[in-house]
Amino acid sequence: MSALHSIDVLLRRGGFERHVRVSSDARVLALVGASGSGKTSLLHAIAGLLRPVRGHIEIAGERLFDAGRRIDVPTHRRRIGYVFQDGRLFPHLDVRGNLLYAARGDASAARAQLDHIVELLALGPLMSRRTVGLSGGEIQRIALGRALLSAPRLLLLDEPLSMLDPDRRDELLPYLQRVRDEHALPMIYVSHAADEVARIAQDVYRLG
Enumerate binding residues for ligand ATP (CB under 6 A): 13-14, 16, 33, 35-41
For residue 36, the minimal CB distance to ligand ATP (Å) is: 4
Beta carbon nearer to ligand ATP, 31 or 144: 31
DSSP three-state, residue 18: strand
Taking residue 106's Cβ as centre, other Cβ atoms within 10 Å add up to: 7
Residues 6+ apart with CB under 8 A from 93: 101, 131
Cβ proximity of 89 and 98 under 8 Å: yes
For residue 142, the minimal CB distance to ligand ATP (Å) is: 22
For residue 94, the minimal CB distance to ligand ATP (Å) is: 30
Beta carbon nearer to ligand ATP, 95 or 207: 207
Angle of helix 136-149 versus helix 166-182 axis, rounded to 10: 20
Beta carbon nearer to ligand ATP, 2 or 162: 162
Q: Closest-CB residue for ligand ATP?
A: 14
How far is the C-alpha of 161 from the C-alpha of 136, rounded, in Å? 9
For residue 38, the minimal CB distance to ligand ATP (Å) is: 4
Beta carbon nearer to ligand ATP, 32 or 118: 32
Cβ proximity of 55 and 9 under 8 Å: yes
Beta carbon nearer to ligand ATP, 13 or 51: 13
For residue 35, the minimal CB distance to ligand ATP (Å) is: 3
How far is the C-alpha of 194 from the C-alpha of 17, rounded, in Å? 25
Beta carbon nearer to ligand ATP, 84 or 129: 84
For residue 64, the minimal CB distance to ligand ATP (Å) is: 18
86 φ/ψ angles, rounded to the nearest 5 degrees: -115, 25
Taking residue 1's Cβ as centre, other Cβ atoms within 10 Å add up to: 5
Name the residue among 26, 3, 19 with its Cα closest to residue 188.
Answer: 26
